Amino acid sequence: MTTLDGIRRPEYTGERRCWPCTVVNVVIVVAAGAALYVAGYPLVAGVVAVLGLLGIWARGYVVPYTPRFAPRLAAALGLGDTFGHGDTFGHGDGPPQELGGSLGGDADPDAVVDTLLRADVLAEDEAGLYMTDEFRTRWRDAMEPLQEATLDELAEAVMGVRMDADVRAERNERGEYVVVASHDGNRLHDAWLTRPVVIAEVAGVNALAGSGLTREAQLVAVEPLRSFLEACPDCGGPVEETTTVDCCGGPAGTAAEPDHVLACTDCDSRLFTFPTED
């Protein structure tokens, strides 16, 4: 089993197996096998069928990007609700419980702060780090045009700064999101960004233009910048530090520790999740 363990994908198998994706894959593998058989390659057909089915068993799916195209396929065929999880199939292709999505990837926080100090975006005194007035004004000015934007326009704005990613607008019962799908090594990683996060981060990238930072450095800087928000990027409401129990429809009553967050008191949006110290 060791060989199979190496290619197993626990996130798509076992209890987390998505049966609709599995069915879609089995249909595709069987159809491919049948087509090869009919075309006069019975041996190849057998190998394709056996390897395909084995792969589905071990990895959840073998057709690349199934979790992304299968729900759309099902929706197009009018089968979306048949599977009982709307158009998402309920496997990670929905907003994560903890909405920590950001335009940029993870970076060393100290290095990011150093870069922002050198670019005069942040400054430091005895009381700690603060955002310079000049940058705060530039950031707020960059947010203004985005506040009026529709979700599709926001998705377009994200495309402009993340050309490497597959960006789409998603609306579901939990809200409106811009989803940024990109490859993180071999894994497909979806970041689900809420309106306030998109507005803050796209405006952040725009405001950082001309600061001497590379685009890559701008993208990793915009998430920590959100911890310096003094007003909601979307509705302009006041912000406060709180826990997810008190805002954002957070996980009250679950065993999970609530997150320490910065949230808008008007629209209840989570604007920043403070890192947990452990």
| Interface positions with Zn ion (CB under 5 A) | 232, 235, 237, 264, 266-267
CB of 57 to Zn ion, least distance (A): 46
Rounded to a whole number of angstroms, the minimum distance from the CB of residue 268 to Zn ion is: 7
Distance between CA atoms of 154 and 185, rounded to whole angstroms? 26
Q: CB 86 → Zn ion: shortest distance, Å?
A: 26
State the minimum distance, in angstroms, from the CB of residue 250 to Zn ion: 16
Nearer to Zn ion, 138 or 270 (CB): 270
CB 21 within 8 A of CB 12: yes
Cβ-in-10-Å burial (0-12, 13-18, 19+) of 102 comes to buried
Q: For Zn ion, which is the closer residue by CB, 11 or 266?
A: 266
Shorter beta-carbon distance to Zn ion: residue 89 or 177: 177
Count of residues making up the chain: 278
* Selection from 199, 211, 104 nearest residue 151 by Cα: 199
Q: How far is the CB of 71 from Zn ion (least distance, A)?
A: 30
User: For the purposes of burial, counting CB atoms within 10 Å of the CB of 134, is it exposed (0-12), middle (13-18) or buried (19 or more)?
Assistant: exposed
Q: Report the residue number, 229 or 232, with the smaller CB distance to Zn ion.
A: 232
CA separation for the pair 167, 155 (Å, rounded)? 6
- For strand 270-273 and strand 260-264, is the pairing parallel, antiparallel, or unpaired? antiparallel
Report the residue number, 13 or 265, with the smaller CB distance to Zn ion. 265
Please give the full DSSP string across 68-81, using - where no structure is assigned: HHHHHHHHHTT-GG
Question: Whole-number minimum distance, CB 147 to Zn ion, in Å?
Answer: 10
Q: How far is the CB of 271 from Zn ion (least distance, A)?
A: 8
**Phi and psi, residue 267, nearest 5°:** -100, 0
Nearer to Zn ion, 208 or 264 (CB): 264
Task: Report residue 268: phi and psi, to 5°.
Answer: 70, 15
Cβ distance to Zn ion smaller for residue 191 or 262: 262
25 within 8 A of 66, measured Cβ to Cβ:
yes
